[in-house]
Amino acid sequence: MKDDPTKRSFRDAQEDIQTSSGVPDTEQTRSPAYRLAYDDLDFILRDQLRPVRLQLELLKPEIMMKEQEVESTIVLFGGARIRPPEEADKAPTPEMAAMSRFYDEARKFARIMTERSIARSGGREDIIITGGGPGVMEAGNRGAADAGGKSIGLNIVLPHEQAPNPYITPELSFNFHYFGVRKMHFLMRASAIAIFPGGFGTMDELFEALTLVQTGRMRQVPILLFGREFWEKVINFKALADVGTISPEDLELFRIVETAEEAVAAIDSWEGVGLKRGEVPGR
């Protein structure tokens, strides 16, 4: 629910900004020191105010998601460079062109999950959330739009400009400065995580989620890796267990799937959802 200014005991902060703009123009009122602290961008951007900016970046999406009745999310991670099939001929390599099938699977998976969300909760639970950019992220938001549902995009400011893809619900299109806060918003409401082929960013997000669940810092949720050929080629999970850097039980924290339908079936049959590990096997 939005704040109702008529029910406040004290004067509204916005009112004071307007009042302050109308004071006489003097040497004192022109001084930066006179500006209201919360209306002074130069002050807010000081290095000493980083903790405040971190808090603001955590709070803004939290408040706005509650206003949009977001109760839980389905997370989609994956490569920004994966093109839709109709643009596969523009891919730099044949291997990347073949990856376009994952665009279709991500779009289909998001559509199915959004249709279920609308039918089961009126669109409040299991809302698709992506990184807000192109590729697999666009496919996820697009699939939700295909189903007539809303979806979330968590963009981040990069050296090269990245605009939000056009399929994100505008009221749920966010932009971040801090990677760490953005990652929290990906996982805070997650009821499942679907991870498609990608690069460094995708790997970072995959291993952070696995580590949080492995160590009991996060409740267990279905973690689905799309594309066995890709994942078994780039990461030898079994070798980690064989040498003992993870336990064999840790290999059960995720499943590899090929299709949207297989992913949905895995979500429906997943055991231990919502529980936190009490101990890390092998430690």
> How do residues 229-267 score in pLDDT, each as one tens digit?
999 999 999 999 999 999 999 999 999 999 999 999 999
Rounded Cα distance between 116 and 253, Å, is: 24
Structure tokens at 134: 């192109």
∠ Cα 36 41 43 (to 5°): 70
Structure tokens at 164: 């939000």
pLDDT number for residue 2: 63
Rounded to the nearest integer, the mean pLDDT of the chain is 94
Dihedral over Cα of 168, 171, 177, 179: its sign:
negative
pLDDT number for residue 177: 95
Number of neighbours of residue 186 by Cβ within 10 angstroms: 21
Q: Please name the residues in contact with 207: beta carbons below 8 A apart, sequence gap of 6 or more.
A: none
Query: If you compute the radius of gyration of the chain from its CA atoms, what whole number of angstroms results?
Result: 22
> Which is more confidently placed, 10 or 161?
10
How does strand 173-176 pair with strand 151-156? parallel
∠ Cα 220 222 223 (to 5°): 105
Give me the percent of the chain exceeding a pLDDT of 90. Answer: 86
Q: Which of 31-45, 77-91, 252-266 has the highest mean pLDDT?
A: 252-266
| 8-state DSSP, 185 | H
Query: Which residue carries 């999406």 as its tokens?
Result: 61
Beta bridge partners of 194: 76, 224
User: Among 65, 55, 75, which Cα is nearest to 205's?
Assistant: 75
pLDDT number for residue 9: 74
Taking only the tens place, the pLDDT of each residue in 130-139 is 999 999 999 9
Which helix (H) or strand (E) segment holds residue 234: the answer is helix 228-234
Mean pLDDT along residues 149-159: 95
Rounded Cα distance between 202 and 150, Å, is: 23
Reported as a pLDDT band with limits 50, 70 and 90, residue 21 is confident
Mean pLDDT along residues 218-236: 97
pTM of structure: 0.93
Taking only the tens place, the pLDDT of each residue in 174-217 is 999 999 999 999 999 999 999 999 999 999 999 999 999 999 99
> Which is more confidently placed, 12 or 234?
234
Reported as a pLDDT band with limits 50, 70 and 90, residue 20 is confident
